Amino acid sequence: MGFVGAFERGGRLIGTIRLVPMGLGLTLTDDLLKHLGPQAPSHPGTCWEVGRLVLDEAHRSDVNALRQCLFLSLDYACTLTRVDNLYASCTHVLGRLYRRFAFNSFAADVPLAGTDKRYTLIHGYATEVLASLSGRQVTAH
């Protein structure tokens, strides 16, 4: 249904990522968007959640490692299927990090029903995110 990627450097596994299609009730972002009701954004085309990005502690502060992992994952997904929009549910700090890669925060402190957890929701157009990750000029929608 989606994509799960693993990354290695020097023969050592350093991280994983998951991309899941939205609108099927499979993602955390789907659940959190319901909480926003009519304030939830609507973007034409296919929507995918980027999640479960985990990097080995030794690589977490390496923005280039993150950039490369995200680029390889998104590029692979885009060659196999249509990916127009990317969403993620993350902490406020990670939301700021993703802004470096053409994502925009559109909701903060969104509660997950039945828990004390709160999330920042971000969105990016796949073409702009890929361009940013590759170092090319980003053209805004």
Question: Does 134 have pLDDT greater than 70?
Answer: yes
Dump pLDDT digits (tens) for 65-76: 888 889 999 999
- Calculate the average pLDDT of the chain: 90
Dump pLDDT digits (tens) for 30-49: 999 998 888 888 888 999 99
Question: How many DSSP H helices and E strands does the chain contain?
Answer: 4, 6
